[in-house]
């Protein structure tokens, strides 16, 4: 893995084009089948009026020094992806997309992911206070509790974080299996965010299972603009959303997304798979600023922020 942007001492002379050339050596004509599962590991563990404090300082100075293309340690990745030092909540999204915009293949993101993507996925989790996810992704990707990982333990303790991020599930129907480990066996209680008019019976079932229910809307559903404040009210300010597209689209439309960590997978999927963000379109497309690009094995790990 290496940084293509910002240009660092890791970026070979000749710029990004030269940098990517060696990585293509030996890569077959067709993308190899990915071997990692982007879904959480069984035991585990993406505007108008931008404001200056929403644009954290670049982290290029934290780039690992060696100029060779090698696997970055989790510690190096954690430095690279560190949340900005600010008191206000930050909502970051992590999504993967094929070259032609598919956010999934046959209903899952795993087929378009890769091992390096999974390392970054795990690192972003390792840095977060809470992982915010739509109920459909929980159901389809069979979410389990986030796990505590040694690689991030010291960093989390120093930042005053619990051993693992809380999973915060967004649901209106509360049609979730509350007997699953996600609700019964997490290291830190799983949160369920729903609306005030959601089923009282289902809310009770969630609480009985050990989940904490937060109300963030007046109807059955959650008002996306209230999610960040509801979680910040629980002391959870370093927020990571893992989608899916329905939820991410609402965060974009509500103008609450600060950062998008987008993995560009070197694959073409065609078909009718959805994009990383759905829902009603913005009146005007909103522009984000490129903050960094890592590359490994033809995959691009981009990060964009509010300007």
Interface residues toward ligand NAP, by CB under 6 A = 95-96, 103-104, 107-109, 134-137, 140-141, 170-173, 175, 221-222, 224, 242-247, 250, 276
Q: 104 or 188, CB closer to ligand NAP?
A: 104
Question: H/E element holding 75?
Answer: helix 74-80
Sign of CA dihedral 60, 62, 63, 66: positive
CB of 253 to ligand NAP, least distance (A): 10
Q: Would you state the torsion angle of the CA atoms of residues 5, 25, 262, 213, taken in this order, to the nearest 10 degrees?
A: -130
Q: By the 8 A CB rule, do 109 and 140 touch?
A: no
Tell me the closest approach of the beta carbon of residue 92 to ligand NAP, in angstroms. Answer: 13
- Shortest gap between Cβ of 218 and ligand NAP (angstroms)? 11
**Token digits for 205?**
């079932």
Q: What is the DSSP code (8-state) at residue 99?
A: T
CB of 244 vs ligand NAP, minimal distance in Å: 2
Nearer CB in complex with ligand NAP: 11/94: 94
**What are the start-end ranges of the E strands in the chain?**
2-5, 90-98, 130-134, 166-170, 191-194, 212-215, 238-241, 259-265, 289-296, 299-305
| Smallest gap from residue 40 Cβ to ligand NAP (A) | 11
Would you list the DSSP string of 221-258? Answer: S--HHHHHHHHHTTT--EEEE---HHHHHHHHHTT---
Tokens (6 digits) for 64: 């690992």
Q: Which residue is nearest to ligand NAP (CB)?
A: 244
Least distance (Å) between residue 236 CB and ligand NAP: 18
Closer to ligand NAP at the Cβ: 75 or 136?
136
Give the whole-angstrom CA distance, residue 305 versus residue 307.
6
Q: State which residue, 236 or 247, has the beta carbon closest to ligand NAP.
A: 247
Residue 69 vs 255, nearer CB to ligand NAP: 255
Comparison of 59 and 246: residue with beta carbon closer to ligand NAP: 246
């Amino acid at each position: 893995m290496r940084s293509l942007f910002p240009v660092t001492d890791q970026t070979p002379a000749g710029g990004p084009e030269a940098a990517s050339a060696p990585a293509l050596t030996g890569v077959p004509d067709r993308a190899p089948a990915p071997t990692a599962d982007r879904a959480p590991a069984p035991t585990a563990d993406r505007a108008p009026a931008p404001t200056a404090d929403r644009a954290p300082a670049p982290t290029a100075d934290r780039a690992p020094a060696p100029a060779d293309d090698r696997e970055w340690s989790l510690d190096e990745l954690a430095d690279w992806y560190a949340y900005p030092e600010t008191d206000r909540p930050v909502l970051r999204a992590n999504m993967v997309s094929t070259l032609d915009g598919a956010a999934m293949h046959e209903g899952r993101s795993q087929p378009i992911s890769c091992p390096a993507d999974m390392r970054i996925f795990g690192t972003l989790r390792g840095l977060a206070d809470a992982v915010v996810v739509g109920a459909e992704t929980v159901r389809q990707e069979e979410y389990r509790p986030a796990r505590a990982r040694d690689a991030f333990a010291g960093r989390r303790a120093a930042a005053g974080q619990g051993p693992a991020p809380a999973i915060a599930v967004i649901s209106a129907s509360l049609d979730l299996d509350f007997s699953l480990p996600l609700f019964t066996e997490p290291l830190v209680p799983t949160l369920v965010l729903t609306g005030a008019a959601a089923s009282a019976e289902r809310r009770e079932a969630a609480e009985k299972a050990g989940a904490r229910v937060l109300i963030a809307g007046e109807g059955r559903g959650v008002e996306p603009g209230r999610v960040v404040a509801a979680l910040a009210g629980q002391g959870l300010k370093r927020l990571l959303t893992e989608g899916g597209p329905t939820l991410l689209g609402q965060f974009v439309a509500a103008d609450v997304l600060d950062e998008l960590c987008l993995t560009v997978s070197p694959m073409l999927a065609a078909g009718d798979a959805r994009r990383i963000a759905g829902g009603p379109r913005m009146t005007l497309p909103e522009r984000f600023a490129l903050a960094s690009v890592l590359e490994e094995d033809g995959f691009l790990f981009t990060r964009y922020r509010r300007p």
